[in-house]
Amino acid sequence: MRTSLRCDPGCDEQIPGSYCGTIGACTSCCLCCEASDSDGGINFTVKGTATGYNSTTGGCDTRTDYCSGTSTLVEYWGRWLSASTAPFPSHMPKCYDGRCVQCCSDADCTSKDNRVGKCASNVCQWGPCFANSDCSSGYCCEQVVGSITIGYGCVSKGTIKDSKYLCDPPEWTSTESEKSINILELVWKFLSGLIKI
């Protein structure tokens, strides 16, 4: 029986690493090291600080998660203070200058509502579109152009509104040789319609 006044009752006569408390483990000093994680567990979107039993030292350690390279976060968790390095899926933060950020470049921002994401101050943003380049492939920017250009949403190519195409008709998105033929067909149909009148 240990005689240390600091010995936790749950760790008395227990070997280091034995369970104690809620989710703790006994240290080599006969103390109960309760595990905790400031980011709520294995959360690869948040850098946090974890406390837990370290089987290498037999003590109770506190460690802070950190970014490794440009696309991984080393996350500490659990009663053993284990570390896990996991790659970030595209929708999760990256790491930049030792802190976790949402993006480092526009390429890190996936499209949303058919709009291309832009990385500004390490945060993905999806503003109104003002040009077709603001939209995902196969979409164009619906906008009103006059004395003021107002950005709207990105609509599928070939979308018709008020009997007008908001952007190129579907047949205009084919190959260059097909475009020439389709344009001639459209002109012929238009002229044929005028002649019938």
pTM (2 d.p.): 0.47
For 94, other C-beta atoms within 10 Å of its C-beta total 21
pLDDT confidence of residue 1: 45
* More confident position, 84 or 133: 133
Q: Sheet of 59-64: strands edge to edge?
A: 36-37, 49-54, 59-64
Per-residue model confidence as pLDDT tens digits over 94-130: 666 656 777 878 888 888 889 999 988 888 899 888 8
Nearest to residue 62, comparing CAs of 85, 41, 38? Answer: 38
- Judge whether residue 165 has pLDDT over 60: yes
Over pLDDT 70: what percentage of the chain? 63
Per-residue model confidence as pLDDT tens digits over 134-156: 999 888 887 654 445 555 688 88
Burial call 37-56: b when 16+ CB within 10 Å, e when fewer: bebeeebbebbbebbbbbee
User: Using 50, 70 and 90 to split pLDDT, how confident is the model at 26?
Assistant: very high
Centroid of chain to Cα 83: 21
Per-residue model confidence as pLDDT tens digits over 53-106: 998 899 999 998 887 665 677 888 766 778 887 766 655 666 666 567 778 788
pLDDT confidence of residue 74: 80
pLDDT confidence of residue 30: 93
